[in-house]
Amino acid sequence: MSTASSADAPSGRARPSNFELPSSSLLGRLTLRSMNLGHRRLHRWGLDAGSIGPDSRVLDVGCGGGAAVRRILRLTRAEVGAVDHSPTAVDRTRRLNTADVARGRLRVMEGSAEALPFRSACFDVVTAFETVYFWPDLETGLREAVRVLRSRGRLVVADEFADRRSAGAWAERLAMRVPDARVLTAACRAAGFARTTAERHPRRGWLRVVAER
């Protein structure tokens, strides 16, 4: 899910789609539900590289429908954060994880990847699944991930589309920026990450990048 702001869209860009900015319409709500169902395997594969322990504090950027957050909450006892620029996505994530919100284990905030509404050095892991396509400024978003991570913390990016060619018509239809492994790892280094690795899913061709602070 995206955390880009529609106000930040380049002039001439079409109105954000329900994939980029899910609305409160029936279609927007159905889009979030389909994301939760369709991205389950991608979430699992991404989280496999997160090294999330029982005391890890985790932030999910672009939380969408909240399914990845629910899986994260099962992996750690610590507090979890989530952020999305869509009010509908924020509401959906809270509803899906009501008990953890009520207990104070989960904070779901409306905001953008380029200005995360969390203090510096407070997370051990930051996840970004199916979201960097829509960030207006990739490097600024990555610098924000560096800021909120503790020393030796890690960012995990997992994308269904590993490059623009694999995205096909979706890239144009949804105005997606699809950074490949080379672009994404270079941007991570430029943002201040000390070490980055990239790999493709052996069967599905997905892209996973892990960057350590």
* CATH classification at residue 163: 3.40.50.150
- Decide which of 90 and 18 is more confident: 90
- Decide which of 2 and 180 is more confident: 180
Q: Fill in the DSSP letter of residue 112.
A: B
Rounded alpha-carbon distances, angstroms, from residue 130 to 11, 55, 177 = 24, 25, 11
Identify the domain containing residue 147 by its residue range. 6-212
Q: Fill in the DSSP letter of residue 10.
A: P
pLDDT at 35 exceeding the cut of 80: no
Q: Classify residue 202: in a domain, yes or no.
A: yes
Strand partners, 149: 123
Q: Classify residue 22: in a domain, yes or no.
A: yes
Query: How many domains are contained in the chain?
Result: 1
Q: How many residues does the chain have?
A: 213
Handedness of CA 37, 137, 49, 178 (dihedral sign): positive
- Decide which of 6 and 149 is more confident: 149
Q: Tell how strand 106-110 and strand 123-129 pair up.
A: unpaired
pLDDT bucket at 171, cuts 50 / 70 / 90: low
Report the predicted TM-score, pTM, of the whole model to 2 decimal places. 0.82
Q: Classify residue 1: in a domain, yes or no.
A: no
pLDDT at 212 exceeding the cut of 80: yes
Which of 16-30, 67-81, 130-144 is the least confident region? Answer: 16-30
pLDDT at position 177: 84
Which of 23-27, 33-37, 41-45, 126-130 is the least confident region? Answer: 23-27
- For residues 96 and 70, the answer to whether their CB atoms sit within 8 Å is yes
pLDDT at 34 exceeding the cut of 60: no
Residue 58: exposed, middle, or buried by beta-carbon count in 10 A (0-12, 13-18, 19+)?
buried
- Decide which of 12 and 93 is more confident: 93
Q: Classify residue 83: in a domain, yes or no.
A: yes
pLDDT at 7 exceeding the cut of 60: no
Mean pLDDT, rounded, for 183-205: 96
pLDDT at 96 exceeding the cut of 70: yes
pLDDT at position 3: 52
pLDDT at 139 exceeding the cut of 70: yes
Q: Classify residue 172: in a domain, yes or no.
A: yes
